[in-house]
Structure 1
């Protein structure tokens, strides 16, 4: 009966699992990169395909992209534990940012054997990045202990992202997208944390080495060996050793981790047996530790003859067992009355927590976060501190108190420095934002949102010089709202302000090309600067603006208010002896002509600049030959439209 109940429950669970797998082929979310985007782990947006053969190519994966084998893991930092398969990740990237085009795509796990990233554009173009600690360090796009690649996406680019990861160790894929600024900030913080940890570890090593030389105690000798080998282990696991010590030896770089882990565990067991004097206090426990000691040592030569996955699993499991066994032994010794075991109890309690979190993370049981990523460093540093405290207590109690006070003072000073640095960074960020906002305000008209005359005075000389250099035309539209004083007098200044906003919106909509600028010139007067634009093109834009303003359905307090603009258009290919103000004066004169001829029209005259004054001392030569060959004309209202000139004359 019990077996029948178990069978029914098991089949129900199996059915639920199969249903979830059948629905796992859905596409992941599109990763949208915006102007506010800085850095994000994108694991939850990716789908995962388990390639058990390890032989699938990009073309194979693309051909099976709708296969039901794809599944979602719903985790930012993907962790697959010890898997022999090659795993493919798929997602979509779209750049919606208007300013940012350079991005960094990174995998923040330095122990990954093989990493291949494919970025596929809609036109079939493929960008491939190959990296991993089984490949020489110089093959990486960026000199970083993690794997980061440059990705250039223009605004609107929508690409497919395929990532292949494979390795014999713990297979993790914490993929993230970041801006260069966010990447540099995070790298700086990580380097700071690793520097603090390395400095503290080195200080502990030197201090205990001096005590070892002074006291000639075996326990100190084993302890110094343990600190050194543990430091090398962490240096290897962090990827810094491959970056700085053996960048051109990927095979050794891959074998170094289990070797140093085995030697570090071996030295830890030696130190524990010596410090606790287990041979005397508890012989059976000493035999258990001796067996563990040889297990660590046996994993070292196995690394050279067996696949990487076997020795790394052995030393990882042994690393979990060691603090648990030491915890049991120290509790037993305390019950036997061995007082020095209390230091071991405290030290290996914190180490056990750190080791357990790290091991569970490597086996894929818990997900990646700050605590699991740095738990070994935190736990080991606390362990080293407590063990050094225990050793120092054997020498002199007074020295122990002095070290505690110095450490507390150093931590307090560090916190103060961090607080001051944080306040300073905050003040600098606020000042930078204020300066940027001030720059925007000084170049932008507050009412209409267009550029102002200050912007024009800064931009016009640059446009003029470029046009002189490349012999390209420059066109200017000078616009004025017709009968604007009547709008203010009849409907009030609020209506006038709203009318200016409406006109500015039409102008801004018509002026879309990069390099063209719409400016509020003053009052109801506007100016449009059109570099590299002939008279014909400028006339088209002018007529678009005129018709757009004429067709506005502008009302204030329910009353319709007709709006029209008069436009003066001047165009010229600048020469050395012709100042920019000549073009503005010509456009202003043509604007006056448009108003004189009845308003709501564009007046243009390509020959207008021929009579404009040159710079002082320059020869007064006519420049008509530089202007586009367009006849002098006045663009009148389109057929069927009312002629504002007749109403103006009446």
Structure 2
């Protein structure tokens, strides 16, 4: 057994002695007389009260005044106990004899501290004028004569006067007749005390209900609305049970005075169920969810029955319903707690307090426990404790949800950072690959794929820069155009593949002889090549070209048919003149190449045309 259930069992067993009837009937030997001026006697009022229970069929049941009572009526002493009776159809007659032994006339109040009595009739007989007051919650509220939630009978006694006060009480439910005999000062003092207590209780309920309602409107969370609904319904139930609803809400609606109590009790049961299912996060398709759905429909059905059945039945049915709902919610909360739902712990404690308080209050309301005022105060303490625990449970639930949210946010941030890091690494790899590809593309765009030499595009890009540098530094810049002799014959004789091999040979020889870092060898046509030689004058360029021509002329390749194949080159050389642009330089080199071809090939010709600056 869990500690909570063990505690509940112990507390329940402790109530068993209180459930016993508070008194046994004692034959009356004569109702004693209460000395009204003696405070101790007033405190012991129930030792001076006599009563008689008139069941249906008894002549006293149909009597409507003390004069109609049989003379041999078997009055019984209350023997110091409150007059508390469970549900009964009997009519109860109560008698109290009071005497003023003081030296002056004084006023006292006989107060019946239970507002839920259908019919209460007071008679005063004695030395002075007889008075008669008919009231009860089945009559308009102003029938009480004094605007007070309980029943007050003013008793004025002259010096030495003795009066007999008789009450006829009937009610369709349980019957409580807790009587006190007080001075006006005592009535006011107790009323002020109760006003403060009730003001704090109902004010706190109202504040909590409005606060939860505002939380619902701001967050849209359903259990805030259900909690506000529950506190409003519980407040209305306690307000009706305490007599305030009859005093302030419907003082003239005598038919609704009783109906409002089981009706508000059924609303309490419905709101408890809805709040419990929402707060405990019970899934609808589970056994607990099915049970709570059934409870909710039972509550709705009992609400409808409350408007159809008499009060004596609906108050019993709805009380059983409310206690069943409380017990069911308690069990479901324990199960949810055992399943690891931490907010259920405070929910269990809240409903444990409510279950015990509600059970005691129900026993008092149905006449199985005395001292209804104390039970009402205990119920208020239980409701207040439950409301505090429920709201604390919601705070804990919010805290856990917030922690989960922060954990989810932290995990999401960590995962996001990891993904960003991963994506950044992938992006860096992609950028490196892209850069590499760009370099490869740049190389492919500026280099000849067959020979590996720079291509015409590279020469077009770099030649203007070399020309500008030469003019700026006044250093020589020489351009040599080299062309393979009779290369078409090679392609026609041995095929283009062998021709490509010759072109690669030429490129290798050019690369061997163009050694300086800034010298550039270019293939800008099929068998046409160019040498860009910055810082090299005509004699130096001529020497380089003659070495290249000699090298290629003395090198042979084995042709596809097995014979040795050779090829020669022709070269035209031109040096950049003052004020000359790259186009003119290229044209002069090309003209020198043309003359080398026309003079028999396999030779180097230097441009002999001087450049004239037209500017």
TM-score of the superposition, structure 1-length normalised? Answer: 0.55
Q: Residues 621-643 of structure 1, C-alpha deviation per residue, up to 9 Å, x if partnerless?
A: xxxxxxxxxxxxxxxxxxxxxxx
User: Which residues of 2 match residues 22-421 of structure 1 at below 5 A?
Assistant: 24-34=27-37, 36=39, 40=43, 42-53=45-56, 54-59=61-66, 62-64=69-71, 66-68=72-74, 70-99=75-104, 101-121=106-126, 126-279=130-283, 283-368=286-371, 370-396=373-399
User: Which residues of 2 match residues 541-552 of structure 1 at below 5 A?
Assistant: none
Is the 8 Å Cα contact of residues 86 and 175 (structure 2) preserved in structure 1?
A: yes
Aligned-residue offset at 1:304? 2.8
Change (3 A) 1:138 1:369: closer
Aligned-residue offset at 1:183? 0.6
Comparing 54-63 with 141-150, which one deviates more in the overlay? 54-63
Aligned-residue offset at 1:292? 3.0
Change (3 A) 1:394 1:162: same
Unaligned residue ranges in structure 2 (runs of 5+): 1-20, 404-615
Aligned-residue offset at 1:228? 1.2
User: Which residues of 2 match residues 530-569 of structure 1 at below 5 A?
Assistant: none
C-alpha distance in 2, partners of 1:76/1:39?
A: 14
Residue aligned with 1:117, SS? strand
Is the 8 Å Cα contact of residues 32 and 97 (structure 2) preserved in structure 1?
A: yes
Unaligned residue ranges in structure 1 (runs of 5+): 1-16, 401-650
C-alpha distance in 2, partners of 1:45/1:175?
A: 11
C-alpha distance in 2, partners of 1:136/1:250?
A: 6
Q: Residues 327-346 of structure 1, C-alpha deviation per residue, up to 9 Å, x if partnerless?
A: 22222222222222112111
Q: Residues 501-526 of structure 1, C-alpha deviation per residue, up to 9 Å, x if partnerless?
A: xxxxxxxxxxxxxxxxxxxxxxxxxx
Aligned-residue offset at 1:141? 1.8
Change (3 A) 1:76 1:141: farther
C-alpha distance in 2, partners of 1:258/1:226?
A: 15
C-alpha distance in 1, partners of 2:402/2:139?
A: 49
Change (3 A) 1:276 1:186: same
Residue aligned with 1:305, SS? coil
Aligned-residue offset at 1:33? 0.9
Aligned-residue offset at 1:91? 2.3
C-alpha distance in 1, partners of 2:185/2:218?
A: 49
Residue aligned with 2:30, SS? coil
TM-score of the superposition, structure 2-length normalised? Answer: 0.58
Aligned-residue offset at 1:156? 1.5
The match for 2:535 is: none
Change (3 A) 1:36 1:343: closer
Q: Residues 159-211 of structure 1, C-alpha deviation per residue, up to 9 Å, x if partnerless?
A: 22211111112211011111111111111111110001111111111211111
RMSD of Structure 2 on Structure 1 (CA): 2.5
C-alpha distance in 1, partners of 2:44/2:83?
A: 10
C-alpha distance in 1, partners of 2:167/2:224?
A: 48
Is the 8 Å Cα contact of residues 141 and 246 (structure 2) preserved in structure 1?
A: yes
Change (3 A) 1:102 1:37: farther
The match for 1:601 is: none
Aligned-residue offset at 1:95? 1.5
Residue aligned with 1:110, SS? coil
Aligned-residue offset at 1:368? 0.8
Residue aligned with 1:287, SS? helix
Is the 8 Å Cα contact of residues 38 and 182 (structure 1) preserved in structure 2?
A: no
Q: Residues 294-334 of structure 1, C-alpha deviation per residue, up to 9 Å, x if partnerless?
A: 33322323233222100011112222223222222222222
Aligned-residue offset at 1:41? 6.5
Is the 8 Å Cα contact of residues 233 and 257 (structure 1) preserved in structure 2?
A: yes
Is the 8 Å Cα contact of residues 52 and 93 (structure 2) preserved in structure 1?
A: yes
The match for 2:589 is: none
Change (3 A) 1:270 1:59: same
Is the 8 Å Cα contact of residues 44 and 80 (structure 2) preserved in structure 1?
A: no
Is the 8 Å Cα contact of residues 343 and 396 (structure 2) preserved in structure 1?
A: no
Change (3 A) 1:291 1:27: farther
Residue aligned with 2:114, SS? coil
C-alpha distance in 2, partners of 1:287/1:398?
A: 25
Q: Residues 14-62 of structure 1, C-alpha deviation per residue, up to 9 Å, x if partnerless?
A: xxx9xx86x5243333221115469546334222211222422224664
